[in-house]
Structure 1
Amino acid sequence: MAQLVRELMTSDPETLPVDATVQQAAQRMRDRGIGDVLVIEDGRLCGIATDRDIVVRALAEREDLSGTRLGEVCSEQIVTASPNEDADNAIARMREHAIRRIAVVDEGRPVGVLSIGDAAVERDPRSALGDISAARANA
């Protein structure tokens, strides 16, 4: 029987409003030991900001990040999945778009994140990626 995205995803995704600062996002990522926050506007998903986005689109481009908002640096081309979707389909989309995580939405509202690490832990826990993804965060 096929697994559903809801069975693999990390529930309760970290979200921040589009006008939150990059520093707030970085602090949330640090505090929760995660690499992304979902960016919302009026409760609906409008972007995803990763630790890499912060480095490449914010830190590398600006001297002063104090006024930089998530909406300025987040990825707006979002690939999403439904919680009731076959996980294989969502993973194939991640491969197709060369992304490491996919936002899980229900009626436009974020309900989770599916990462390649989540999939590896569940499907191939003895692989290097599965082992690393299951380990406790070191930050």
Structure 2
Amino acid sequence: MTQQTVADVMTPSPTTVDITDTLRTVAQTMAEQDIGALVVRAGTAAVGIVTDRDLVVRGLAAGLATDTPVQQLVTGQVVTVGHTDPVETAVEVMRKAAVRRVPVLDGDTLVGIVSIGDLALERDPTSALADISRSEPNR
């Protein structure tokens, strides 16, 4: 049996925003795509992830204007995994960095995103997290 790789469980071709895009643009993109997290890039390089919670807690609640660049919400060094890395590597990277989503790279190219939900579906399909991850969004 071959070892499962990140490419086997990731969401391919994630939606991205540029580091210069405004918080309004980021929020509109999330609404249009019905997703809660976007990869933030500077040019072609993944430099972070912004979530709907970031927009509310670190943006709106902190008094940032809607025309503020998303760069102000992206902090620190983004952690990534390679598409050929074993799934266990993604688990360990996420655990050590205490993050829920990680961009997936092929060399320097963004090819996907992997979340704790993706990993739960694969590693423990009967878990509550897997059930939640599998279900349709509730509006």
Structure-2-length-normalised TM-score = 0.91
Letter in 2 for 1:52: R
Gaps of at least 5 residues in structure 2 are: none
Cα shift at 1:99: 0.9
Q: Kindly, what percent of the aligned residue pairs are identical?
A: 39
* Aligned residue type for 1:111: V
Q: How does 1:1-139 map to 2 (within 5 A)?
A: 1-62=2-63, 65-139=65-139
Aligned to 1:132, the other structure's residue is in SS state helix
Shift, 1:123, TM fit: 2.0
Count of residue correspondences: 138
Q: Secondary structure at the match of 1:77?
A: coil
Matches of 2:106 and 2:70, distance apart in 1: 22
Listed as ranges, the gaps of 5+ residues in structure 1 are none
- 1:73-113 CA-to-partner distances (Å, cap 9, x unmatched) read 12342110000001101111101111111111122221111
- Give the partner amino acid of 2:109: R
* SS of structure 2 residue aligned to 1:56: helix
**Given residue 50 of structure 2, which amino acid in structure 1 is its aligned partner?**
A
Distance 2:15 2:107 in 1: 18
> Normalising to structure 1: TM-score of the pair?
0.91
Which aligned segments of 4 or more residues in structure 1 are displaced greater than 4 angstroms? none
* RMSD (Å), alpha carbons: 1.4
Q: Contact between 2:24 and 2:67, CA under 8 Å: does it hold in 1?
A: no
Moved more, 81-90 or 100-109: 100-109
Structure 1, residues 37-75: CA drift from partner, whole Å, max 9, x if none?
A: 11111211122111121122211111x522211111123
The Cα shift of 1:31 comes to 2.3
